[in-house]
Structure 1
Amino acid sequence: MAYIQQSFSVKFEYRVFFTEKIFDPSNSTFADFLEAQASEGIRKKLLFIIDEGVTEKHSYLQEQITAYCQELDNFELVQDIVVVPGGEAAKNDLQLFYWLINELEKYNIDRHSYVIGIGGGSVLDLVGYVAAVSHRGVKHIRIPTTVLSQNDSGVGVKNGINYHGKKNFLGTFAPPVAVFNDAYFLTTLHERDWRSGMTEAVKVALIKDAGFFEWLESQAGKLSMGDLPAMQQLVYRCAALHMAHIGGAGDPFESGSSRPLDFGHWSAHKLEQLTDFELRHGEAVSIGIALDSVYSFLLGWLKEEELLRIINLLKQLRLPLYHPLLEVDEDNPGVVAGLEEFREHLGGQLTISLLRTIGRGEEVHVIDTALLEKAIHMLRDKW
């Protein structure tokens, strides 16, 4: 038997910048980054795709971007700034995906160009997917505008859209060339989005950093009341932990079944679907964290004192702990159906992260549904 074998690795590198009022004429952060990417003899195109909700809160943004880009020497803003609906609906609309693909073709966006997404996590997921499949990969830049996207999804390497009612069924692993976290966008968030974005910080603290969890406990009052400096610290620490995991876990594209950063997510994904995405992602994850923490306690892993600290922190941050659609009966499997969907999404065997203690997660491959129902009832009846 004859065969030819090849093996190679591809190095990915990107930075997450922390700034405020990114397109203010006095702020050169974005311009400096682009000029460092300039190539002699090539005038590179910039296509902006913006979350509609962001343009409503920042009506001046498109004019500011246009004026800012006019001062760039080696880059050309295309004729139109594209505005798309935000929220999970953006990831459920296949026609919107195809329309954006056509926009890239219309403006002759090539592999020297940059597609820049500005918005919440759903819009960034969509824009990243559009860029990744066009010309087999157009460079994309993320400018996240929500707590959830600045501290978690926007700084990662995943992109995707929902399909056949399944979350992120279509998608790619395609790192951005840069991420710009502009704290000013957080000042105009709806209170519900401000709060729900903090769940990913709670999650990553629980599985990776007990000291960060203690910090969250100490700052919970400020965070729940909208204190921006405290939120900026939360975003930075959470993003740092997220990126450290991507680079240090040895499996940045999740080719295996292990996904510790998805602690609390298996039921959250199903709850979002069951509520027709009425629940924010962060709200569903909060419920998922509470459920898996109680389940870890019932397994004999978490101490009662630790469980109460977790529940108390979520309550201080004014995040939900329970939803009626968690319930399981003979006619309705409820969130339990999400276990198989989660396994399918991962590939291979079911792998769920639980808690051994605050700051240390551990994976299991089997969930006791009777014990899970007990955990659901405990959440419903006790808190």
Structure 2
Amino acid sequence: MQYLQQSFNVRFSYEVFFTRNLFESANTRLTGFLSAVADPAFQKKLLIVLDEGMLAHHPLLKQQIHTCLSAIPGFQLVPEMITVPGGEQVKNDDALLFRLVDAIDQYKIDRHSYVIGIGGGSLLDLVGFAAAISHRGVKHIRIPTTVLSQNDSGIGVKNGVNYKGKKNFLGSFAPPAAVFNDEAFLTTLQARDWCAGMVEAVKVALIKDAPFFEWMETHADALAGGNMADMQYLIYQCAALHLQHIGGGDPFESGSSRPLDFGHWSAHKLEQLTHFELRHGEAVAIGIALDSVYAFLLGWLDEPAMKRILQLLKKMQQPIWHPLLEKQAGGPSPVIAGLEEFREHLGGRLTITLLRAIGKGEEVHELDLELLYKAVDICKKNQS
């Protein structure tokens, strides 16, 4: 018998920059990055995709981008800046995905050029996926404009869109060429989005970093009140923990173990069932609360720790319960019934991270449904 075997490794590397007023003339973060990758042998192109909701709060942004990027040697800014709606709705719109693919084709964005997405996590997911499936992979740069995208989704390696109501059913692992976190974009966020974005920091602290969780407890009121210095510390620490995990062993999630999905098995289903009326961070807050109370009932997490988690989420103005967690008309909760869907999303056996202590997560492969409904009742009682 004859056979051939191939094996190779591909190295990925990208930087996440933290800055303010990225497109002002005195700021050389982005222009310096592009100048460093310019090639005198040919001209590269830049295609900009903007979040419509964000742009409404920054009316001068298009002109600032044009001034900043139109004079970089070796680069050509294409004449159209594409504006698309923000929010989860963009990931449910197949026509919008192919509008971006068509623009990549129309403006001849080749594999040496860059698509630059500027907006929240949903827009960045869409832009990254459009780039990943065009020419088998066009480079993309992310400029996240929300708390959630700056501390989690925008700095990772995943892209995707929703399909048949299933979150991120179509997607890719395509790391960005670079990420630029500009704190100035956060100044125009609604309070709801500001607060909901912090939940991913709670999540990663609970499974990896107890001192960071304690810091958030101390600064919760200031964070919820809009303190920018504290928010910048939270974003940096959260991003660092996420990047540390991504580079630590399974960046493309080839196995079923996904500790960073702590609190997410119910969150994804809640988002879908509420037609994405719930913010992602709000759904994750409910998921964290549910799984933390479940761990307490299981005898893993002590009661004081469980109460501290619920209290921090509430101080961050987040929900810890939703009616869809309860049994409906004599049948099961539609959220809890979604456990099998989450197993399919993992691509293997059901694997859920629970807490042994604040800062220490451990995986399980099954849940006791009776205990889970008891956890739902406790979350409901502690909601107010």
Report the TM range for the smaller structure's normalisation: over 0.9
User: What code does the residue aligned with 2:69 have?
Assistant: C
Number of residue pairs the alignment of both structures matches: 382
1:36-185 equivalences under 5 Å are 36-185=36-185
The answer as to 2:271 corresponding to 1:272 is yes
Q: Tell me which residue corresponds to 1:351.
A: 351
The answer as to 2:199 corresponding to 1:227 is no
User: What code does the residue aligned with 2:339 have?
Assistant: L
User: What code does the residue aligned with 1:307 have?
Assistant: M
Query: Secondary structure at 1:80's aligned position in 2?
Result: strand
Q: Indicate conservation of the 8 Å contact 2:129/2:171, yes or no.
A: yes
User: What code does the residue aligned with 1:101 have?
Assistant: V
Q: Tell me which residue corresponds to 2:296.
A: 297
Q: Indicate conservation of the 8 Å contact 1:328/1:335, yes or no.
A: no
Q: Tell me which residue corresponds to 2:335.
A: 335
Structure 1 segments (4+ residues) deviating >4 Å: none
1:4-43 equivalences under 5 Å are 4-43=4-43
Q: Considering only aligned residues, what root-mean-square deviation do their CA atoms show, in Å?
A: 0.8
Offset at residue 381 of structure 1 (A)? 2.0
**Aligned partners of 1:68, 1:237: CA distance in 2, in Å?**
29
Q: Indicate conservation of the 8 Å contact 1:269/1:338, yes or no.
A: no
In the alignment, structure 2 segments of 5+ residues that lack a partner are none
Q: Tell me which residue corresponds to 2:2.
A: 2
In the alignment, structure 1 segments of 5+ residues that lack a partner are none
Q: Indicate conservation of the 8 Å contact 2:210/2:359, yes or no.
A: yes
Q: Indicate conservation of the 8 Å contact 1:17/1:180, yes or no.
A: yes
User: What code does the residue aligned with 1:263 have?
Assistant: F
The answer as to 2:312 corresponding to 1:313 is yes
Q: Indicate conservation of the 8 Å contact 2:120/2:144, yes or no.
A: yes
Deviates most, 99-108 or 237-246 = 99-108
Offset at residue 332 of structure 1 (A)? 4.4
Q: Taking structure 2 as the reference length, what is the TM-score of the superposition?
A: 0.98
Q: Tell me which residue corresponds to 1:261.
A: 260
Query: Secondary structure at 1:136's aligned position in 2?
Result: coil
User: What code does the residue aligned with 1:183 have?
Assistant: E
1:182-221 equivalences under 5 Å are 182-221=182-221
Deviates most, 66-75 or 282-291 = 66-75
**Aligned partners of 1:76, 1:136: CA distance in 2, in Å?**
22
**Aligned partners of 2:96, 2:75: CA distance in 1, in Å?**
27
The CA deviation string for residues 336-379 of structure 1, in whole angstroms up to 9 with x for no partner, is 12211110011110000110000000000001111101100111
Offset at residue 48 of structure 1 (A)? 0.4
Q: Tell me which residue corresponds to 1:288.
A: 287
The CA deviation string for residues 7-27 of structure 1, in whole angstroms up to 9 with x for no partner, is 000000000000000000110
**Aligned partners of 2:370, 2:70: CA distance in 1, in Å?**
62
